[in-house]
Amino acid sequence: MLYAALKAVHFLSVIVWLGGMFFALFCLRPGAAHLPPPERVPLMQAVLQRFFSIVLWVALVTVLSGGLMVGRVASTTQATGGPFNMPLEWTVMAGLGVLMVAIFGHIRFALFKRVQRASAARDWPAAGAALKSIRDWVAVNLTIGVVIVVVVIAGTMT
């Protein structure tokens, strides 16, 4: 029962994170593109501020629930006398998941700070450049997230 709850929380947190990145890239950014920079930048800043606050928690929940699930399976396997060999797809998921968290950290604590500073200074070209960097890194993170989902699904089908 605990494992099922952890798995549900893990999947839901991944869905929120990946869905948010998809929304930002393919809906929000194109929808706001027609606005002039003095309107677009504050809108993007406000939306990203909310989203990044959510992702901070979601990333923590994803890592913790994933780690707890692996630990639970490992301890159960060892308790029955068997060796625990983490499946390849779990190893890929964990490694790429840590990379996603690191990329998010760069986005949130470096690139987004540039947006905030440029916006406060009303330096729209600098804010736009920082938002482009965020968009590029979010695209990388979304791609990694999709790769993780595909690897895990493919691994469970064998």
pLDDT per residue as tens digits for the range 100-132? 999 999 999 999 999 999 999 999 999 999 999
User: Given this model, what pLDDT does residue 67 score?
Assistant: 96
Give the pTM: 0.94
**Residue whose entry in the numeric block shows the structure tokens 């482009």:** 132
Q: Where are the domains of the chain?
A: 2-156
Q: Which two tokens stand for residue 90?
A: 């779990």
The arithmetic mean of pLDDT across residues 85-99, rounded, is 95
